[in-house]
């Protein structure tokens, strides 16, 4: 969608959306590249190190066969297909088959426990599930409470009550006529991580992929370029893995490396990227911090672009990444309901550490008040995205009340607090539900966390408010120290003085607690509410 421009202003001014009335994601990111020339689509490396390669022709045939299986098992347009798999070829095949069939796919994280799976499968009314034996073992005991779930397909061999996925594909025809879907037809439900309350299912239309393209392309320095190869450690069960990496790459006919270890290992990640010649990667902030904490580097890296998102990146992390990875990470911003609407591009405009960047081409991002009215430059408010954005969700599944509460006036309210400067840079201050009220001050934790991350002893930091009878709340910092550092009262005092000298007297953490690890969501975000609950 993007055309190279000499500056950000020209890029924004000249951009136009091209969203056709009729559009199918499965056809777009697979079938149109399946031209009989075996164009590479996926390089899959499993945990043993074995590598298999798939072309777009392969993906088209496999997805056609699975679409025919689904039709034979009486699934119809609008039915929901859940996909409980890691980064493997069957994950991509299942999504593409669902979309070509007019079904609604539901990505599910393999580390979910039974309660999390039961909630999502029941709430969505999923009629079918694609998983492996490990996933099937979790779900089988739930089936009596999931009356809508009539079919389970297992990718690594049949089990009682489930079909063998590959055997079913082998019996099915290889030809399939994709459904002629509208760009606004529903295609995928992605559940929020549920850090507060029950997860909500964000229902997206087929156009959501096209809505992702401008910021994905800009944050990866005008992706694609000849020779590009994409990889992320982020699971494809989340919007960051599925729609910031896999499907945008396939839209452009660019191959993707599939590999996700059970646990992120910095050395293994660097070696993987060097060995396969990865040129583009989405590394969440936690992954970047873990690589930096390890002290490792790799001379064989050939990275052209690094993107990150989920938490703001500080100056220290950006400088380290440029030295170690060979390029400045371009941070992007979005959320499950309205993803990648702002970003940085170090080549077009200066990256200002701590800033989320500027609104992406085609996206109208404003700082607004609770009624959806834009606030003056420099004033804090809610990050709002104007209605009608192609990347915006249709609604929350089965939750009209929450859907209505997500909007005010002409804007979707993200719930993220920020301010915007005169040049359009967005400065995140914290989640609305993480805001700290102390001695009459409203304090966003993000700026303090960024400052803490610059302390030489700090590997990871999180800031929350804890009750205080005098100040309403105290600022409390939870700290994971770097390897070789011993926590102590003296270190806590030094950390407090460090923040006090760099920020403001009312913002320094009056309480410092040291922990071995942070509570994290499956997407690598710190769960602040769990820290608040510890007191």
Q: What is the mean pLDDT of residues 259-269?
A: 90
Tens of pLDDT along 332-381?
999 999 999 999 999 999 999 889 999 999 999 999 999 999 999 999 99
Percent helix / strand / coil, the chain, rounded to 5: 30, 25, 45
Q: Which sequence spans correspond to the domains of the chain?
A: 24-181, 215-235+253-434, 435-534
Q: What is the mean pLDDT of residues 73-89?
A: 98
- 87-91, 101-105, 452-456: range with lowest mean pLDDT: 452-456
Task: Classify burial at 484, counting beta carbons within 10 Å of its beta carbon; exposed 0-12, middle 13-18, buried 19 or more.
Answer: exposed
* pLDDT surpassing 70 at residue 441: no
Q: What is the mean pLDDT of residues 383-397?
A: 98
Which CATH superfamily, name and number, covers 215-235+253-434? ANL, N-terminal domain (3.40.50.12780)
Query: How high does pLDDT run on average in the chain?
Result: 93
- pLDDT bucket at 114, cuts 50 / 70 / 90: confident
Spatial CB neighbours of 63, under 8 Å, sequence gap ≥ 6: 26, 30, 93, 94, 96, 97, 100, 176
Q: Could you please state the CATH topology (level 3) that the domain comprising 24-181 is classified under.
A: Rossmann fold (3.40.50)
Dihedral Cα 464, 465, 467, 473, nearest 10 deg: 160
Q: What is the mean pLDDT of residues 443-469?
A: 87
Q: What is the pLDDT of residue 193?
A: 62
pTM as predicted: 0.85
> Which CATH number fits the domain 435-534, given the four candidates 3.30.300.30, 3.90.320.10, 3.30.1220.10, 3.40.720.10?
3.30.300.30
Please spell the DSSP secondary structure of 142-203, one letter per residue. Answer: TGGG-TT--EEEETTS--TTSEEHHHHHHHS-S-------BTTSEEEEEE---SSSS--EEE
Question: In terms of residues, how long is the chain?
Answer: 535
- pLDDT bucket at 192, cuts 50 / 70 / 90: confident
Phi-psi region of 249 (alpha: psi -120 to 50; beta: other; left: phi over 0): alpha
Q: What is the pLDDT of residue 166?
A: 98
* pLDDT surpassing 80 at residue 431: no
* pLDDT surpassing 80 at residue 153: yes
Query: 333 near 340, Cβ under 8 Å?
Result: yes
* pLDDT surpassing 80 at residue 442: no
* pLDDT surpassing 60 at residue 160: yes
Spatial CB neighbours of 21, under 8 Å, sequence gap ≥ 6: 182, 183
Say how far apart CA 207 and CA 15 lie, in whole Å: 17
Same fold, 24-181 and 215-235+253-434: yes
Spatial CB neighbours of 13, under 8 Å, sequence gap ≥ 6: none
* pLDDT surpassing 90 at residue 245: yes
Please spell the DSSP secondary structure of 439-500, one letter per residue. Answer: TTEEE-HHHHHHHHHTSTTEEEEEEEEEEETTTEEEEEEEEEEPTT----HHHHHHHHHHHH
């Amino acid at each position: 969608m993007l055309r190279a421009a000499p500056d950000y202003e020209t890029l924004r001014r000249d951009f136009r959306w091209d969203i056709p009335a009729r559009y199918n994601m499965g056809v777009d990111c697979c079938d149109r590249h399946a031209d009989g020339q075996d164009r590479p689509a996926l390089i899959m490396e499993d945990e043993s190190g074995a590598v298999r390669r798939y072309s777009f022709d392969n993906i088209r045939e496999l997805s056609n066969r699975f679409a025919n299986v689904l039709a034979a098992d009486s699934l119809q347009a609008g039915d929901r297909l859940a996909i409980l798999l890691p980064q493997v070829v069957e994950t991509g095949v299942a999504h593409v088959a669902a979309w070509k069939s007019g079904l609604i796919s539901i990505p599910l994280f393999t580390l979910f426990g039974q309660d999390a799976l039961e909630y999502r499968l029941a709430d969505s009314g999923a009629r079918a599930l694609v998983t492996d034996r490990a996933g099937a073992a979790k779900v089988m005991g739930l089936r009596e409470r999931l009356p809508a779930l009539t079919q389970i397909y297992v990718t690594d061999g049949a089990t009682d009550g489930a079909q063998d996925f590959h055997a079913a594909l082998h019996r099915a025809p290889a030809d399939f006529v994709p459904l002629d879907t509208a760009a606004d037809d529903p295609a995928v439900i992605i559940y929020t991580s549920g850090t507060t309350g029950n997860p909500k299912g964000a229902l997206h239309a087929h156009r959501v992929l096209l809505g992702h393209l401008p910021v994905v392309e800009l944050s990866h320095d005008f992706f694609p370029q000849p020779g590009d190869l994409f990889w992320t450690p982020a699971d494809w069960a989340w919007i960051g893995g599925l729609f910031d990496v896999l499907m945008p790459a396939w839209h452009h006919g660019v191959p993707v490396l599939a590999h996700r270890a059970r646990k992120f290992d910095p050395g293994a990640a660097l070696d993987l990227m060097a060995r396969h010649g990865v040129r583009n990667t989405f590394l969440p902030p936690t992954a970047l911090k873990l690589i930096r904490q390890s002290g490792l580097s790799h001379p064989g890296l050939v990275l052209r672009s690094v993107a990150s998102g989920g938490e703001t990146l500080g100056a220290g992390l950006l400088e380290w990444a440029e030295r170690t990875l060979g390029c400045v990470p371009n941070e992007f911003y979005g959320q499950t309901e309205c993803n990648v609407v702002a970003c940085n591009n170090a080549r077009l405009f200066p990256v200002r550490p701590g800033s989320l960047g500027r609104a992406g081409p085609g996206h109208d991002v404003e700082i607004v008040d609770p009624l959806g009215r834009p606030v003056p430059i420099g004033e804090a408010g809610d990050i709002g995205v104007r209605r009608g954005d192609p990347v915006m969700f249709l609604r929350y599944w089965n939750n009209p009340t929450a859907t209505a509460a997500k909007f005010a006036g002409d804007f979707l309210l993200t719930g993220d607090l920020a301010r915007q400067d005169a040049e359009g840079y967005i400065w995140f201050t914290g989640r609305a539900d993480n805001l700290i009220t102390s001695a009459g001050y409203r304090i966003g934790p993000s700026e303090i966390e960024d400052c803490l991350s610059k302390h030489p002893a700090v590997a990871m930091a999180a800031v929350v408010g804890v009750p205080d009878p005098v100040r309403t709340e105290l600022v409390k910092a939870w700290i994971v120290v770097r390897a070789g550092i011993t926590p102590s009262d003296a270190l806590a005092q030094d950390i407090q003085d460090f923040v006090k000298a760099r920020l403001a007297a009312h913002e320094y953490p009056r309480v410092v607690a040291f922990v071995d690890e942070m509570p994290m969501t499956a997407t690598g975000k710190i769960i602040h509410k769990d820290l608040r609950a510890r007191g």
